[in-house]
């Protein structure tokens, strides 16, 4: 364990140019209860690591690409009866095994992990406590909890300066705005009867979440903390990701088996891309050339060309592939 703690503290100041396109694609295979490691250049899953729990939905890699953090959510979906996860595991990417564990002490259904862009702390949504837990990744100790004030705070987005967080509160149909410095809820934004997933524009001026009751995307003005517009979609949306140039937002549309490409200047769908069944999450590669989309019911990840808006490659993954992360390759 000493080796793990020492390595975890060795975070590079900046990613190399090569790491923008040369890395590992990390996937959460919910049905197999594994963390998958995909070589995107070869287009194949080269390793799977058993989590030792049921089951991780989301993953995040440390900035140096050495470790993957996988909260163990439980055996059900959000708001549904089932087991309540109590742990998070840490996977060593090179050794391809679990090397660390955090125990939350009680059932919290930990879900979405993110790394703070400035302080390097790990933020994990802890649904049943209605909080975001703040964790020191070097010691795997919980150092704080930020209340969301809402049930089923499932997914999280963090601003570039690390000061604000936004949670999509599924059953409540709201978005909580969090002050991570003061560790309090600043606002709760009503969206619909049910909302899912959340992401931010490249400049943090807008947040995006998908209405699950109607085929539309909510666009939130983060300065005013209110919905400023709606974008019609082919069917209810799910995961989203924005390009760094501020021009495009990619939206997974599970029931249509498509990814919608939203023009953020015109605020309308400019293109759709056919993908395998039940697209879930969207991850844009750091070099902004490829978007990876997990397609849960097909056990595949679709690689979509940014700009061409075509599926360039289909990569086999595990059952129920969902969460995605990028790990810098050593």
- Beta-sheet pairing, 23-29 with 174-179: unpaired
- Please report whether residue 156 resides in a domain: yes
* Domain housing 32: 2-10+19-238
- Please report whether residue 276 resides in a domain: no
Could you tell me the CATH number of the domain that includes residue 25? 2.130.10.10
pTM: 0.94
- Please report whether residue 132 resides in a domain: yes
pLDDT tens digits, one per residue of 117-129: 999 999 999 999 9
Burial 197-233 (b: 16+ CB within 10 A, else e): bbbbbeebebbbbbbbeebbbbbbebeeeebeeebeb
Closest CA to 113 of 71, 176, 84, 64: 71
Taking residue 268's Cβ as centre, other Cβ atoms within 10 Å add up to 11
- Please report whether residue 288 resides in a domain: no
- Please report whether residue 292 resides in a domain: no
Question: What is the pLDDT at residue 19?
Answer: 60
- Please report whether residue 330 resides in a domain: no
- Please report whether residue 309 resides in a domain: no
Question: What is the pLDDT at residue 18?
Answer: 56
Report the domain count for the chain: 1
Cβ(159)–Cβ(177) under 8 Å?
A: no
Residue with tokens 């909260």: 71
Closest CA to 89 of 112, 64, 68, 115: 68
Question: What is the pLDDT at residue 330?
Answer: 78
Q: What are the residue ranges in the chain where pLDDT is below 70?
A: 1-19
- Please report whether residue 287 resides in a domain: no
What's the gap between Cα 189 and its chain centre? Answer: 20
Question: What is the pLDDT at residue 36?
Answer: 98
Taking residue 255's Cβ as centre, other Cβ atoms within 10 Å add up to 14
pLDDT tens digits, one per residue of 198-253: 999 999 999 999 999 999 999 999 999 999 999 999 999 999 999 999 999 999 99
């Amino acid at each position: 364990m000493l080796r793990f703690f020492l390595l975890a503290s060795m975070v590079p100041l900046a990613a190399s140019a090569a790491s923008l396109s040369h890395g590992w694609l990390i996937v959460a295979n919910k049905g197999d209860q594994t963390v998958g490691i995909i070589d995107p250049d070869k287009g194949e899953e080269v390793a799977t690591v058993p989590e030792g729990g049921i089951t991780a939905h989301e993953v995040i890699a440390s900035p140096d690409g050495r470790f993957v953090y996988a909260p163990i959510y439980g055996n059900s979906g959000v708001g549904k009866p089932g087991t309540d996860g109590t742990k998070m595991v840490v996977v060593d990417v090179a050794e391809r095994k679990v090397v660390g564990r955090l125990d939350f002490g009680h059932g919290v259904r930990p879900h979405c992990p993110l790394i703070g862009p400035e302080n390097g702390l790990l933020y994990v949504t802890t649904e049943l406590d209605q909080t975001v837990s703040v964790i020191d990744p070097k010691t795997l100790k919980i150092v704080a909890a930020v209340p969301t004030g809402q049930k089923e705070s499932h997914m999280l987005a963090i601003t570039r300066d690390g000061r604000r967080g936004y949670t999509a509160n599924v059953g409540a149909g709201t978005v909580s705005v969090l002050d991570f410095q003061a560790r309090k809820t600043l606002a709760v934004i009503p969206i619909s009867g049910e909302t899912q997933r959340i992401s931010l524009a490249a400049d943090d001026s807008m947040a995006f979440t998908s209405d699950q009751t109607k085929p539309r995307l909510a666009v939130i003005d983060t300065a005013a903390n209110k919905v400023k517009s709606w974008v019609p979609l082919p069917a209810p949306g799910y995961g989203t990701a924005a390009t760094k140039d501020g021009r495009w937002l990619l939206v997974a549309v599970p029931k249509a088996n498509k990814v919608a490409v939203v023009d953020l200047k015109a605020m309308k769908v400019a293109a759709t891309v056919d993908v395998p069944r039940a697209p879930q999450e969207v991850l844009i590669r750091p070099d902004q050339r490829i978007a990876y989309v997990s397609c849960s019911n097909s056990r595949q990840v679709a690689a979509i060309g940014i700009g061409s808006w075509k599926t360039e490659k289909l990569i086999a993954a595990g059952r129920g592939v969902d969460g995605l992360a990028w790990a810098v390759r050593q």
